[in-house]
Structure formats: C-alpha cells, structure tokens
Structure 1
C-alpha cells in the first residue's frame, strides 16, 4: 500500500506495552511505522524506568508514560488514576502490543476505567500469533492493522516504512558523557570488548548454575576472556550488567586473573551503555536486553542462546549490517556451548 500525501487527519498513536528492556527496543520498528502512517510521533505507555531512557529524543516517540508499582491495587494508586485520566484525554488510535495475560488484564482495566471504546483499539492478540515469527516481523504485521474507528481515512503505508531492524539515536550530550566516563575509567585509549554474562534471572548464579538455561559457566567466561586477551593484548575487557549482576561478574573476573578485565555494573546506565556500544570493538552476550542494544548501535556481536526460543524469535538485527553470530541450539541450555565455539565466533567478527 502507498500513502501519497500522508494521512488525511494526523493522529497521535498510543502504544501500550509492559515489557523489559529488550522487549521495548523491539517495538521501535512499530513506532516508526505508526509515526509514518498517522503523521505524528507515538505516545508510549510502558512499565518501569528504562523506556524513557531508551527513547529519549527519538524521532518516532513523542511522549512516554511510565507506570510503577504494578502490584498496588488500582483503588490505592494515585499514579494509576492519573494515568487513566491521561488515557481518557488521548483521542488517537490505541495499539495494545502486549501478549501476556496478566499485563493484558491490567491494561483492559485501565482502558475500561478511562472509558475508551473498543473500536479505537487494536490488540496484538486480535491477529494470528505465529510461534516462531520474529518479534520485529510480528510488530510490523501488527502495525499494519487499523482500529475500526479510523478505517474510513487513509492511514496506509509505504514499503520503506517497514524497517526490519530497531535503531536508536544518541545526541552530543550522550557522547560527551560517554567520553568523560571512558577517560575516568581509563578505557579511552585501547580497544574495548564488552561481555554480558548475566540477565534478570541469572544474577543468583550460585543457586541456579545447574538449572538456568541462560547461565554460561564462570569457567567458560574465563576461558573466553583469556583467549580475547591473547588475540587483542591491549584491549580492555569489560564485564557489564545491572547492579544485581555484580556477583557473577566478580566471580568471572576472579577466575580470569587478568588486569585488563574490568567490571561496570553500577555506573553504566542505559544512555551511557549505548554510547559505549557505539564505540566498542565487539560484544559477547547471553540472550538478554543489552545484546539488543548492541545490535541497534552497530556493535559486532556474538549471542549465546538457551531456553525455549532461539534467534528465529529473538535474533538480533543490525540496522548497519554489522556482523552478528548466533550460537546455541534451544531448548538446550547455554552451558552446552563449548568455549572454543564462542572464541572462534568472536574472532570471526574482526
């Protein structure tokens, strides 16, 4: 389909998605498509604080509304009542890009209390969900749907509105902050390789090491780091993660016993991480959100998959055509991947 002169009546689309970091990044092609279709940047209703950091100054996102404390009952939550008032005042199409039952139940409550008619909404679950379809391709199919209330007008799209890889944007302030941090940490004058060993449920690695499908053993990370040092002796090798992942990063650093191995789990917020990824030589990561960020910023990448889904569903895509190597054969756990395979994959990035 093709929109020759843009939409007849520009609208602000509202997208509702309660996802984690990687989930929210994979919505970016949807935001781009809806912006192009309706003529105005999207509003985004999300949960947590990472969405506003991720999409700050993004051309396809105008406003971000964030909910916190999801377990508090609606009647006792002034923030939710304020959100209901915002939704009630919103007069554009609403795209509910959520597929989990618990979150959908909460979203339907918000819409009902806001008095939003069904014909102004389209739900992801309105369409066929394909088990092994990539999340971006699913989002683009979803973005081509139109709520019943808007079908009389021309909200069509061009083929070049369908971007297959998420992309993010930095500004001068982001890059200045990254430069200052790299100099402060003594990381500015050598190649920088990033490693992401943890995710939101691997951080208690000493309890879950035998049962978590995304846990790659400490000894395997240490073997990889030693091989990286042999290949790039001058490089700084940076173990990244959230503060709760500090323990697993410290265990890996202790097992490696290299001065070039550094840890950044308390001073690498999202915008700074994006700036570091833009500058990095490469990254090796388990299947978690920062690996999506690396691909979006054009950082050469190796991803280790384990658990239910593999790259068919979650595969990273680079908007710049940079190399991405996927390893693992789900549902086998990440621990089944041999260090030699990861070392060879990382060396192939260069």
Structure 2
C-alpha cells in the first residue's frame, strides 16, 4: 500500500511547535495510510522523532535557509524527497507563505490553518475588547486537517513519546545525585521569553519557604541560560536541602522523563508549561500580560491549573497575545498582585 504523504510547515517558537505533537500523533493513529514530514527548526525536531510514520525535517531558517533564495533552496530540497498529497502551512508566516506558494505552482495541494489574527487582536486591544474564549491552538491545528479531509479526535495525554532508554537515563541521573523520592517533588519553571509573562523572581524565595513549612518538599528547577542558572544558584544556596537544579543537566526529552516523577509543576506561560501539560503532569500556571483564553492555555487543563488576576479586577488584561513588554498601566499589576501566599495555597491542591 502506497502511503499518502503529508508535509507540515511550522517554525516559530518552541511552544507553538510542541503543540503540534498531539495533532500529528492523532493524525497518524487515525490514518495508517499516512506518512508525515514535519519541517521545523533543528532544535525542535526531536519532538517528532519516535512517532511512527512521522519524519522530522530540520530546517535552519536562521542561517542556512534565509531570505527568498534560502526558501527557494529549502523548497528544492523538499521537492527532491518526492511529491506530497497535501502540504499544510501551520505557521502562515512570510517564510511559509513563500514555501506554500512554490508548492502550489508545482501543483501540490495546500491547506493553511486559521491563525485567528483578527479575533486575537480584538481580545488584546486596549479598548472595546471582545473576550469570548478562542479555540485552543491545538484545536486550530486539528481543524486544518479537518478542512483538508482528515477528521480525527485527539486522545488523552501523555502525547510526547519517550523511549525506555530515556527513562532509564533519568533514573540513573536520579541515583547518581542521591535523589530518592521521600517527599513531595515540585518542578519550577519561572522564566519565559517575555517580561510580561514572568512572575517577579523575588516571589520564589518566600513561596518556597511557605511550601517547606507545609511539609517535606524538594524543588526541581527547569530552564536555561546564564541569567536563569544564576538565579537558580541563589535559590540553591538559600535552600540547599530542598533545591535540585535540573537546568543544563539533562537533554530535553530527559527533562520530560524527569517531569513524570514530579507531583506537580509551577510554570508561567511558557514552553515548559506546554510540555508539562502535554505530558499529563499536574501543574499550576501563572498568567500576567497574556491570557489562556486567547488559545495558548495548558492543553486539556482546567481552571485548577491557572492562577491569574480576573478581568473584572484588571479589565486591561490581556494586553498581548504572545507577551509584549509594554504594560498599559505601567505597573504590571497582573503579575504583582499574585502573591506567594496565593500561589502556595493553590499548589496544595493541584492534580
């Protein structure tokens, strides 16, 4: 049986790309006659490895395939792999617009997902907001396939595929670091790409003090980069018996395997939040300038997984789809009004 070949184009940020995973898995599970190639940034290709009949195609659009000529070269390389029964643009960006146009010229069928720019704009504008919940990004991706004639349902988490060897590597890492679970294990991922998503860092020390008072607990810190590691080092010095720095110690999929050992994750609106949700990990996510109803909330998680200042109290929320730095009020009240006491109380009940 000849497999139908589907090509998916999706670059952008990690959170946008990882939200494709449950959709791609559901697609190939529903259609055994389909083979999928996912074109994405090299650092995100591992999300799609180990899924049957899914082949990641790493495309370095920042250095190798830049500009119009770079996109043309990428198109030629993809076309040399063969023709496609369907090309799905899951980005709708200048790069993918150019690529999909070339595929159309060569007679390939192309479908573009509905990004929802107009309704997202009205959701985040300063005046006359329209704040009805918008479709989740995962659902928007799924609807693109439905439009193309491939309807399917998305099953339950976990959605990320982990090899047994990856789990074994994490078990060895835990043993090497004398980490035996005798208390509650909480993951903390305090950073995001934009300031308007980051809960003030000075809140974490009093938060951890309160959680330590509640009962035995160990904190696993997730992130990367010099600034983040320096902050984690400061917490380790203050709480040496309670803090484990996972940042920089494990590869991405190993971090996912570690998350499965946790009792819960505390995140902001970030890729780590999406990863925890897709792994089915209990979590609490803190929201400031962005809002889960715009379509980027923790997938298949309810209000128990979200802490935010209501729009009744702060009608300016949200001020951004992705997390712009400028605050309409100038004081980031949406983040500063969320207290360590509030977060500690909510973390007691995550599940």
Which residue is equivalent to 2:199?
216
Q: 1-side partners of 2:116 and 2:158: how far apart?
A: 22
Q: CA deviation at 1:308?
A: 3.0
C-alpha distance 266-80 of structure 1, shift in aligned 2 (>3 A) = farther
Q: 1-side partners of 2:144 and 2:59: how far apart?
A: 23
Which residue is equivalent to 1:295?
277
Which residue is equivalent to 1:326?
306
TM alignment of 1:175-186, pairs within 5 A: 175-186=167-178
C-alpha distance 342-87 of structure 1, shift in aligned 2 (>3 A) = farther
Which residue is equivalent to 1:335?
336
Residue 54 of structure 2 corresponds to residue 62 of structure 1: yes
Q: CA deviation at 1:175?
A: 0.8
Which residue is equivalent to 1:110?
99
Q: Root-mean-square deviation (CA), in Å?
A: 3.1
Q: 2-side partners of 1:45 and 1:118: how far apart?
A: 19
TM alignment of 1:88-237, pairs within 5 A: 88=80, 89-99=82-92, 104-112=93-101, 116-117=105-106, 120-125=109-114, 130-131=119-120, 132-146=134-148, 155-157=149-151, 161-163=153-155, 167-190=159-182, 191-201=184-194, 212-233=195-216, 235-237=217-219
C-alpha distance 67-250 of structure 1, shift in aligned 2 (>3 A) = same
Contact 1:300 1:322 in 2 (8 A): no
C-alpha distance 97-156 of structure 1, shift in aligned 2 (>3 A) = closer
Q: 2-side partners of 1:266 and 1:306: how far apart?
A: 27
Structure 1 portions without partners, runs of 5+: 1-7, 147-154, 202-211
Q: Aligned residue pairs: how many? A: 312
CA-to-aligned-CA distance 1:189-225 (integer Å, 9 cap, x gap): 3342110011234xxxxxxxxxx21222222111111
1:48 to 42, 48, 73: 42
CA-to-aligned-CA distance 1:238-287 (integer Å, 9 cap, x gap): 11102342123234445x44431122221122111110011111110111
Q: 2-side partners of 1:284 and 1:98: how far apart?
A: 28
C-alpha distance 281-67 of structure 1, shift in aligned 2 (>3 A) = same
Q: 1-side partners of 2:141 and 2:156: how far apart?
A: 10
Residue 4 of structure 2 corresponds to residue 11 of structure 1: yes
Contact 1:316 1:324 in 2 (8 A): no
What's the TM-score once normalised by structure 2's chain length?
A: 0.78
Secondary structure (helix, strand or coil) at the match of 2:349 reads: helix
Q: CA deviation at 1:34?
A: 3.5
What's the TM-score once normalised by structure 1's chain length?
A: 0.78
Q: CA deviation at 1:70?
A: 1.8
Q: 2-side partners of 1:187 and 1:323: how far apart?
A: 32
C-alpha distance 67-98 of structure 1, shift in aligned 2 (>3 A) = same
Secondary structure (helix, strand or coil) at the match of 2:295 reads: helix
Structure 2 portions without partners, runs of 5+: 121-133, 310-316, 319-332
Contact 2:158 2:279 in 1 (8 A): no
Q: CA deviation at 1:66?
A: 1.2
Secondary structure (helix, strand or coil) at the match of 1:250 reads: helix
C-alpha distance 156-143 of structure 1, shift in aligned 2 (>3 A) = closer
C-alpha distance 180-13 of structure 1, shift in aligned 2 (>3 A) = same
C-alpha distance 75-95 of structure 1, shift in aligned 2 (>3 A) = closer
Q: CA deviation at 1:64?
A: 0.4
